Amino acid sequence: MKTQIYSVDGDSKGEIELPDVFSFKVREDILVKAFRIISLSNRHPYGSSPLAGTRRVGHTSRPGMGISRMPRIAGSSRAVEMGSTKGGRSAHSPRSSKNLILHINKKEKAIAWKTAVAMTANADLVKKRGHQFSDELKFPVVVEDKINSINKAKEAKEFLENLGVWDDIERAKEKTKIRAGRGKMRNRKYRTPKSILIVSQSPSSLKAFRSLPGVDIAYSKNISISKLAPGGVGGRLVIYTEGSIKEMAGEQ
């Protein structure tokens, strides 16, 4: 399986042999399962203090007093410590000691990752996910390594326009909206749709692209399923550098 290599100017520069992972049989069911397990395992443990509601001293009255034998504050009828009383402990509160890690078989995780990569090579699946790009673009999108020398946002915009994918950046910008709920008070006021993912051997040199709406950068040695298929939906618009394709072929 081969694909075109695009230059920084958006012109065809030649062809490159792709790794076998790009022609892998798609298993979307396993991809959804793996994404769910990964996202649930990233949850932050939370819970109340084990001593919450039990820091009050209560005394139990003896039988025959005409009052239920619950621990109460001395000299008062107010009950404490019990789960059914005001100011008492919580009956079934979340526990921070709970293990939130879920597991998946190694083979299933590998199938999910290969599925996510293979779906980036299918133009129909990429368009189905909502991305906008030129109809003349050949998938998977591979560009020369000169992209690593782009160090200004203006140059990055020119490159994406020449490649025919700038419309997807505009889509992410137009659909950016204020988040509903408490999240907007917690340093995540705006919600921006996912746009282009750029995979490179040296992601640190692609800082010019980070300021563009919805754009992510990934290292070719450890591309995560979360970046390849955000929300568990495969077919993200991915731009691979020539060096990253060779590196992925060497890992196989």
DSSP string, 1-61: -EEEEE-TTS-EEEEEEPPGGGGPPP-HHHHHHHHHHHHHHTPPP----TTTT--S--BPP
In a domain, 79, yes or no: no
pLDDT of 50-90, one tens digit each?
A: 899 999 899 988 888 888 889 999 888 899 999 888 888 98
Strand partners for 190: 178
pLDDT of 179-214, one tens digit each?
A: 999 999 999 999 999 999 999 998 888 999 999 999
Nearest to 120 by CA among 202, 8, 31, 180: 31
Distances (CA, A) of 108 to 25, 30, 55, 105, 249: 13, 7, 48, 5, 21
> Given this model, what pLDDT does residue 76 score?
87
Q: Evaluate if residue 252 carries a pLDDT over 60.
A: no
CB 113 within 8 A of CB 225: yes
Strand partners for 178: 190
Q: What is the mean pLDDT of residues 150-156?
A: 93
Q: Evaluate if residue 40 carries a pLDDT over 90.
A: yes
> Given this model, what pLDDT does residue 251 score?
64
In a domain, 87, yes or no: no
In a domain, 160, yes or no: yes
* Mean pLDDT computed over every residue of the chain: 93
Alpha helices for the chain (secondary structure H): 28-41, 106-119, 123-128, 153-163, 166-174, 207-210, 225-228, 242-251
In a domain, 99, yes or no: no
Q: What phi-psi label fits residue 43: left (phi over 0), alpha (psi between -120 and 50 degrees) or beta?
A: beta
Q: What is the mean pLDDT of residues 142-167?
A: 94
Tell whether omega for the bond before 19 is within 30 degrees of 0, i.e. cis. no
Parent domain of 209: 2-26+105-251
**Cα 129 from Cα 123, distance rounded (Å):** 10
**Exposed e or buried b for every residue in 157-167, given b needs 16+ CB within 10 A?**
bbbbeebbbbe
Tokens (6 digits) for 206? 């692609």
CB 228 within 8 A of CB 235: no
In a domain, 239, yes or no: yes
Distances (CA, A) of 103 to 51, 114, 203, 223, 237: 31, 18, 29, 19, 28
pLDDT of 11-31, one tens digit each?
A: 998 999 999 999 999 999 999
3-class state of residue 208 by DSSP:
helix
For residue 198, what is the enclosing H or E element?
Answer: strand 197-200
Q: Are strands 12-17 and 2-6 parallel, antiparallel or unpaired?
A: antiparallel
pTM, full prediction: 0.85
All residues at 6 or more sequence positions from 187 whose CB lies less than 8 Å from its CB, including other chains:
none
In a domain, 142, yes or no: yes
Nearest to 121 by CA among 24, 29, 221: 24
Split into its structural domains, the chain has a count of: 1
In a domain, 64, yes or no: no
Domain of 185: which CATH number? 3.40.1370.10
Q: What share of the chain in percent tops pLDDT 70?
A: 99
pLDDT of 85-121, one tens digit each?
A: 888 898 888 999 999 999 999 999 999 999 999 999 9
> Given this model, what pLDDT does residue 250 score?
75
In a domain, 7, yes or no: yes
